[in-house]
Chain A
Amino acid sequence: MSTEHDHDHSRHTAGPDPRTVKHHTQEQTQVLEDRVKKLEALLVAKGLVSSVTLDKMADIYEHDLGPMNGARVVARAWVDPAYKSRLLTNATAAIGELGFGGLQGEHLVVVENTPKVHNVVVCTLCSCYPWPVLGLPPTWYKSAPYRSRVVIDPRSVLQEFGLNLGESVEIRVWDSSAELRYMVLPERPVGTERLDEEELAKLVSRDAMVGVAKA
């Protein structure tokens, strides 16, 4: 299996956001830094912010993009057949209907689990992931064992996640790329007929939308 470093990253990662590639000279950076320091000093002096809170704030946003958007997409598809049909034909547009986007040229594809077909998502080359709906990928998704083994022996890998599928269930493995990001539409659990969309969304786990668990 190849390592993280010897494959073509350009195919798997969208180009850097042009808004972030600007390189300031040292002098320009110093001026910007001073402006921010002045604001911070002012706001700290007024007691409006504390330096401790500020230290944590960016970290929280960096690491807390969660899978809630995906859960809302799934719940909508469970209650609204017309939405589900749009989701399965053009997921990028259907997900956009709910206000989720932010992709830079990648397309989302949603694949549906049925009693006979179970889907599971991987990125064999790196860690392409449908982040606008699922947030940031878990560590195991990026691990070499998952990336290589789920393709060769998905049934055993899913068993290790605690998911035992009958021999009659076909397992389809979807390999993500820069252009195509897959998400699984899990089966609606039995006995949830009385739940509304919001309650249903709470049942949908990240793992179910990657395909290593049931909803």
Chain B
Amino acid sequence: MDTKIATDRLRLSFGKTEVLKSITIKVHRNTITGFMGPSGSGKSTLISVINRMIDFENNVRIEGDATIDGTSILDGSINPIELRRRVGTVFAVPIPLPRSIFENIAYGPRLKGTSDRTTLHHLVEDSLKKAFLWDEVKDRLGTSALKLSGGQQQRLCLARTLALKPEIILLDEPCSGLDPISTAKIEDALSELKSEYTIILVSNNTKQIARISDFSAFFYLGELIEYDTTEKVFTAPAETKTEDYIQGKFG
């Protein structure tokens, strides 16, 4: 399979604490790759390297490399702003911008210079459809996004990143506060999206990873313990730690 995202012996420390201990992984194009592991295992930190949101933290030391399509994204010549257009992120808590549904989705494209009303409308409709939210909000695009339910807001956040036409979508525990129906809708959306995008799903919920991901990576205390197809990891894990985690013996 084709490699979209790769890290090579990536190490990261906050001050004296080493949070990522030499991670080497190859994430495949057009797949859903699940990152799982207990809290503090470094999954979210790894995500923040890929979207360069790590830039906003202080006292960070990084060694090793991370690449997208073979090109390093840690290089000084990389423009992180342009990178974040290619790499969309959905966070655990949905944070709509305090404006209308339409303007939330149009925020990204407007930043990139799109101002034509018709183009924006198509973009908004397209993104909302892909996020499985269009039918529920198509009549009220001008109303405040803050009035949506939690599950709708999270799908809004997904649509928001889709509007920028990224290549990669990172989701960090996106369903952590959501009811099962909203969770299912998002999972369905992701399953459809993987044909066009490369998706990394960080989750504490092993069952969710088992449900929808093609590949699974198990992280523990900053190390990548196991990485293989989901089927293999969940039916016949190579490491005992992986097996213990999946069985819920710790978490």
Instruction: Judge: A and B partners, yes or no.
Output: no
Q: What is the interface of chain A, defined by CB distance below 8 A to chain B?
A: none
